[in-house]
Amino acid sequence: MNKPIIIAIDGYSSCGKSTLAKALSNWLTFAYVDTGAMYRAVSLYFLRNKLDGKVLSIQEIENTLDQISITFEHSQIKNSSDTFLNGENVEDEIRGKAVSQAVSEVSQIKAIRSRMVQLQQSVENRSGLIMDGRDIGTKVFPQAQLKLFMTADPQIRAQRRYNEMRAAGKELTLEEVEENLKSRDYNDTNRKENPLRQAQDAIVLDNSHLDQEQQLEWVLKLLKKRKLI
């Protein structure tokens, strides 16, 4: 019997990884896991409890993680998954400015990355699985049948993120968004633990000038070409 298909999507912030992953999940009826939301939920917990991962011991971090439960529930209203932290819907809060500024630093901590990777690898996969993040194809699922590495022009990424946050009622400037993305890119690619890298067998998807429908069509054609669907 063929193994369930795993699609690993890595890439820079605000490249539309989650949007593409969700579209593929709906089209293929595969399970989808938003790993970025997991790190954001942990970051929110640290912020709320005024914890600094840089000064906590490994044991203290491990003990803290034991107190954190992250789950996903489908929202019929939005037709997407909401993130729950210890039973509380935090989907909107983890997308805010404070968490966006904290998540790169929190996600660099070895103990946190190790625990998140364990959780990600333990996801039940019966028919197919789509997972997006920074180290899915290189660390979490190096055996994935299809690996994508998403990128886009930095200015286009910043404008997309700015529009998204303004639409959500967040008050900030385009310059603030640009600085945040620059900082996250640097942290993601320079951290010691599982830095953002393109897997050797990953296919690059530059979506600077592609809309969501075009990206979905591009990946579906690739899957068919590889006889994965």
pLDDT of residue 173: 94
pLDDT tens digit sequence for 26-38: 899 888 888 999 9
For residues 212 and 124, the model is more confident at 212
Question: What does the block give as tokens for 225?
Answer: 């070409």
Residue 192's pLDDT is 87
The answer to whether residue 196 scores a pLDDT higher than 80 is yes
Per-residue model confidence (pLDDT) at position 82: 84
Distance of CA 210 to CAs 16, 147, 174, 215, 216, Å?
11, 19, 21, 6, 10
CA distances from 29 to 52, 121, 129, 219 (A): 39, 19, 9, 15
Query: At residue 212, does pLDDT exceed 60?
Result: yes
Q: How confident is the model over 165-191, as pLDDT tens digits? A: 899 888 889 999 999 999 999 999 998
Q: If we measure between CA atoms, which residue out of 35, 227, 30 comes closest to residue 126?
A: 30
pLDDT at 1 over 50: no
**pLDDT tens figures, 215-224:** 999 999 999 9
CB atoms within 10 A of CB 185: 17
- Res 135: pLDDT: 93
Percent of the chain past pLDDT 90, that is, above it, reads: 73
Domains and CATH numbers, the chain: 5-224 (3.40.50.300)
Measure Cα distances from 187 to 3, 42, 45, 88, 113 in Å: 35, 17, 20, 29, 14
Q: Residue 73 has what pLDDT?
A: 79
